[in-house]
Structure 1
Amino acid sequence: MTTRTLYLFCSAAPPVFDVAHVIEDAQARGWDVCLGLTPTAAHWLAGSLDGLAALTGHPVRWQYKLPGEDDVWPPADALLFAPATFNTVNAWALGLTDRFTVGVAAEAIGKGTPAVAVPCTNTGLAAHPQFDQSLAVLRAAGVEVLFGEGGFIPGPAGQDIPPHFPWPAALDAISRTATAQA
């Protein structure tokens, strides 16, 4: 089996704490995983970053490299952004690339890299009018968005931990999307 490279990007939402298991599941599906985090997600996982780097065989990234530095990751065959917070979804759709993960995800659209997003937000934020517009922009750009039926279904505002997060559906979607575009 040929190994393909998956950029797994995570925002700071409670499902990020499952990322080691998700990496293992992706690796079992034949993916070479490179883990990118938003700065807050990197802060949340600070005590696990060395272990996550050992698990993937690549440095965990949350910052842009300096000009002239070599890229430490192989090129992506696919990109999975999960969990993608309200802020991340809106920044990605608007092309606001001050964060490494959002910048690489925005560029992936232009490169034609297969991409899947699994937003993770609550019903209060999901009701904001920009959110629906951002989901529509990402879908129109070719990103498969798993939100609502068959994806992440938001819970009420104020709930810290979502009752479920569709990690298996996310990995199925990225495998399907990457295979379709191969």
Structure 2
Amino acid sequence: MSTRTLYLFSSAAPPVFDIAKVVEEAQADGWDVCLGLTPAAARWLDESLDGLAVLTGHPVRWEYKLPGEPDAWPRADAILVAPATFNTINQWALGITDKFVVGVVAEGIGKRIPTVAMPCVNAAYVQHPAFEQSVATLRGAGVTVLYGEGGFVPNQPGQGNPAAYPWRAALDAVNTLWPRQ
């Protein structure tokens, strides 16, 4: 069996605190996992970053590498962006790539890397007209966005349950796009 490489990219939303468990589940599914975080998510997980690097076998990244530096990760076979915040979804759809995670996934569209995104936003954020437009833009670009029935369903502000975040649905979607050989 060949090794499949998954880029797991996460934003600063409460389900990110379960990322070690998600890495382990992805590894059990046969993925070599490379973990990338938004700067805010990296700050939230600061005390766990070294352990996450050991768990994945790769450095955890949240910044672009410097010109001329070798890439520390193997090439991605698939990308999972979860939890994806309101900001991450909108920046990605608009092509605003000042953050490492958003830059890689924006480029991933052009490279045709199978990509799944699962938002983590509350019901107030999704009322903003940019959000639905961003989801439609990403879907139109070939990204599988797990939003709504069968994916993430927004909760009322302050009433989220991070333990109920449907991580397994996200991993199953990635496995469907890039099945084991």
Q: What is the TM-score of this pair, normalised by structure 1?
A: 0.96
Contact 2:59 2:72 (C-alpha < 8 Å) held by counterparts: yes
Match of 1:176 in 2: 176
For 1:40, the aligned partner's letter is A
SS of residue paired to 1:123: coil
Write out aligned runs for 1:48-87 (5 A): 48-87=48-87
Write out aligned runs for 1:150-169 (5 A): 150-159=150-159, 161-162=161-162, 164-169=164-169
Match of 2:124 in 1: 124
Alpha-carbon distance in structure 2 between the residues aligned to 1:179 and 1:27? 13
Write out aligned runs for 1:82-93 (5 A): 82-93=82-93
Match of 2:33 in 1: 33
**153-162 vs 87-96, which moves further:** 153-162
Check if 1:99 corresponds to 2:96.
Answer: no
Write out per-residue CA displacement over residues 58-92 of structure 1, whole angstroms, 9 at most, x where no aligned residue. 00000000000000000000000000000000000
Alpha-carbon distance in structure 2 between the residues aligned to 1:178 and 1:89? 22
**RMSD of the TM alignment (CA)?**
1.4
Match of 1:20 in 2: 20
SS of residue paired to 2:178: helix
Match of 2:114 in 1: 114
For 2:129, the aligned partner's letter is P
Contact 2:38 2:62 (C-alpha < 8 Å) held by counterparts: yes
SS of residue paired to 1:97: coil
Alpha-carbon distance in structure 2 between the residues aligned to 1:46 and 1:31? 24
Match of 2:10 in 1: 10
Contact 1:16 1:83 (C-alpha < 8 Å) held by counterparts: yes
Q: What is the TM-score of this pair, normalised by structure 2?
A: 0.97
**126-135 vs 171-180, which moves further:** 171-180
Shift of 1:161: 4.1
SS of residue paired to 2:179: helix
Contact 2:15 2:163 (C-alpha < 8 Å) held by counterparts: no
**149-158 vs 54-63, which moves further:** 149-158
For 2:169, the aligned partner's letter is A
Contact 2:97 2:106 (C-alpha < 8 Å) held by counterparts: yes
Write out per-residue CA displacement over residues 128-154 of structure 1, whole angstroms, 9 at most, x where no aligned residue. 100000000000000000011000111
Alpha-carbon distance in structure 2 between the residues aligned to 1:44 and 1:176? 30
Write out per-residue CA displacement over residues 19-75 of structure 1, whole angstroms, 9 at most, x where no aligned residue. 000000000000000000000000000000000000000000000000000000000
SS of residue paired to 1:179: coil
Shift of 1:158: 2.9
Identity of aligned residues (%): 67
Contact 1:154 1:162 (C-alpha < 8 Å) held by counterparts: no
Shift of 1:159: 3.0
Contact 2:13 2:41 (C-alpha < 8 Å) held by counterparts: yes
